[in-house]
Structure 1
Amino acid sequence: MTWETITAPPGVVAPRPMTVRAQSIPARHYFPDHSHRWNQVVYAISGVLTVTAEAHSFVISPEQAVWLPTGVRHRVGSLLGAEFRSLWIAHEAGHGLPESPTVFGVSPLLQALIVEAADIEGQEDQDGYANRVTILILDQLRRTSPLPSALPWPRGGPLSGLCEALYTEPADSRGPEAWGRELGMSGRTLARRFETEVGMSLRSWRRRLRMFKAIELLGGGLGVTQTAMEIGYGSTSAFVYAFRTEIGSSPQAYMRGRAVSRDTCAAAHVGEIEMIEITRASPT
């Protein structure tokens, strides 16, 4: 199946200092290569995005975002569809943030702030609330830590089709020989090209893909056993062992930690807003 392009909205103006765009990206749609005269944070509150920037291509989940500095050419799309939230940040407002494309983790607090910023975008800011949300977002962005890597992705061609197929059916266990026959090349050639383009072997990439999908499915409410079967593990125990090896905790502990973090950050969000209000209201 082919991908369809999305036309950028007309009348785009520079952010002062931040503009938030909310848009639904249909499955297999993308924004073609382009750049901005400002910084951008690429994020989806649901679904996953494919992002290409500076010869690197990868997939990010709602737990991850990408920082794109001013002038970087990039392409953004979604294989299965996503709720896209794009933060345009003025060049001068990006002081202290990375000078190259960076994948970083999105805390529940930052996610809540992005959702709030999108909800109030375009409203009159008579009491300065929108400005305070912007300040908090910029502060949170400066506190983020780069992730070692997201899920790498080929830039295009037959290997991109292979990865799309495995993303849709992560239980598919075919190796380089079988996929080579499918794509009209030898297994050795496919393995070599895959490692060159993606930066890891097909086996390692499949293992990372399955963990990526596992977190997505668990976050959507699917049980551990169902998730294990969905992504191709023969038993729950095998899945739990693999998850613990890759992630560092059991699936249950990981999801409990996410829930605690979400509640804690929500409380922190309220606290930071209240502190800003108190500070601004205090006499000098």
Structure 2
Amino acid sequence: MTWGTIEAPPGTVPPQPITVRAQLIPARHFFPEHAHRWNQMVYAISGVLTVAVEGRSFVISPEQAVWLPTGLRHRVGSLVGAEFRSLWIADEAGRDLPKIATVFSVTPLLRALIVEVTAIEAEEDSDGYAGRVTDLILDQLRRAQPLPGALPWPRGGSSLTALCEALYADPSDPRGPEAWSRELGMSERTLGRRFEAEVGMSLRSWRRRLRLFKAIELMGGGLDVTRTALELGYGSTSAFVYAFRTEMGRSPQAYMRGRGADRLE
């Protein structure tokens, strides 16, 4: 399936110091590659975003956001659709924030502040409340914890994109490298070499990270551990719990309890 383009709204003005844009991105739509004369924070309140920047591409969930410094060319879209939030931040306000593209964790407080600044965007700031919210957002961005990486994704137009989209839609798909190489009309060795070169890891490692990414998404949506394990194609709940604990350092139940506690703080 092809992707549709979304045109940026005309007449955009520089942020003073923050401008927020809220928009729904339909499934399989994207903003063509572009750059801004200011910093940008890319975030999805719900759904997932695909961000392409500096020769790499990756997917982020509502647990994550991407910081894009001034002038950096990038492309943003969504495979499954997303409720998109874009924070434009003036250079002066973001002077002590990263100078390179950075993926970072979004705390419950930062998420709440993004929701709030969106709600008051058009209001007159007669009592300075909007300024205080802005200051809190900037403080949260300075304290944000960078992540080693989100879910890497092939660049658009590659035959590997079809493979990754199919596995994202159905992580339980049992086809291995041999079957996928036949599907894509290349040797198994070529598939492995191309996947590692374009995505930055082996297909096996990528599928493991995809399952972790989807597990958090599914459990965050209310699915229990057993159902999540089945949805992801694990042979048993215990196999899923073991894999999750190996990657995250704690069980799925403990991870989700921790997220719940964060939201109450």
Residue matched to 1:92:
92
Q: SS where residue 116 of structure 1 aligns?
A: helix
Q: Could you report, residue by residue, the CA deviation over 1:187-215 in whole angstroms, capped at 9, with x for unpaired residues?
A: 11001100011111000000000000000
Assess if the C-alpha contact under 8 Å between 1:27 and 1:82 holds in 2.
yes
Which one has the bigger helix percentage?
A: 1
TM-score, length basis structure 2: 0.99
Residue matched to 2:162:
161
Q: Give me the whole-angstrom Cα distance separating, in 1, the residues matched to 2:14 and 2:238.
A: 52
Residue matched to 1:272:
none
Residue matched to 1:234:
235
Residue matched to 1:14:
14
Correspondence list, 1:195-210, <5 A:
195-210=196-211
Larger radius of gyration: 1
Residue matched to 2:215:
214
Q: Aligned pair 1:34/2:22, yes or no?
A: no
Residue matched to 1:243:
244
Q: Give me the whole-angstrom Cα distance separating, in 2, the residues matched to 1:203 and 1:262.
A: 33
Q: Could you report, residue by residue, the CA deviation over 1:158-217 in whole angstroms, capped at 9, with x for unpaired residues?
A: 001110110001001212211111111111100110001111100000000000000000
Residue matched to 1:139:
139
Q: Give me the whole-angstrom Cα distance separating, in 1, the residues matched to 2:17 and 2:64.
A: 23
Residue matched to 1:46:
46
1:51 is displaced (CA, Å) by 0.2
Residue matched to 2:128:
128
Q: Give me the whole-angstrom Cα distance separating, in 1, the residues matched to 2:105 and 2:227.
A: 26
Q: Give me the whole-angstrom Cα distance separating, in 1, the residues matched to 2:151 and 2:8.
A: 26
Name the amino acid aligned to 2:224.
G
Residue matched to 2:182:
181
Q: Give me the whole-angstrom Cα distance separating, in 1, the residues matched to 2:122 and 2:23.
A: 15
Q: Give me the whole-angstrom Cα distance separating, in 2, the residues matched to 1:183 and 1:83.
A: 33
Residue matched to 1:268:
none
Name the amino acid aligned to 1:210.
R
Q: Give me the whole-angstrom Cα distance separating, in 1, the residues matched to 2:243 and 2:27.
A: 30
Assess if the C-alpha contact under 8 Å between 1:177 and 1:188 holds in 2.
no
Q: Give me the whole-angstrom Cα distance separating, in 2, the residues matched to 1:242 and 1:128.
A: 49
Q: Give me the whole-angstrom Cα distance separating, in 2, the residues matched to 1:210 and 1:201.
A: 14
Residue matched to 1:62:
62
TM-score, length basis structure 1: 0.92
Q: Give me the whole-angstrom Cα distance separating, in 1, the residues matched to 2:145 and 2:179.
A: 39
1:153 is displaced (CA, Å) by 0.5
Name the amino acid aligned to 2:182.
R
Q: Could you report, residue by residue, the CA deviation over 1:11-54 in whole angstroms, capped at 9, with x for unpaired residues?
A: 11110000011111000000000000000000001111000011
Q: Give me the whole-angstrom Cα distance separating, in 2, the residues matched to 1:173 and 1:146.
A: 33
Q: How many residues align?
A: 264
Q: SS where residue 94 of structure 1 aligns?
A: coil
Q: Give me the whole-angstrom Cα distance separating, in 2, the residues matched to 1:173 and 1:247.
A: 24
Q: Could you report, residue by residue, the CA deviation over 1:51-88 in whole angstroms, capped at 9, with x for unpaired residues?
A: 00111110001000000000000000000000000000
Residue matched to 2:225:
224
Name the amino acid aligned to 1:229.
L
Q: Aligned pair 1:115/2:127, yes or no?
A: no
Name the amino acid aligned to 1:207.
R
1:234 is displaced (CA, Å) by 1.2
Name the amino acid aligned to 1:224.
V
Q: Give me the whole-angstrom Cα distance separating, in 2, the residues matched to 1:119 and 1:224.
A: 35
Q: SS where residue 256 of structure 2 aligns?
A: helix
Residue matched to 2:150:
150
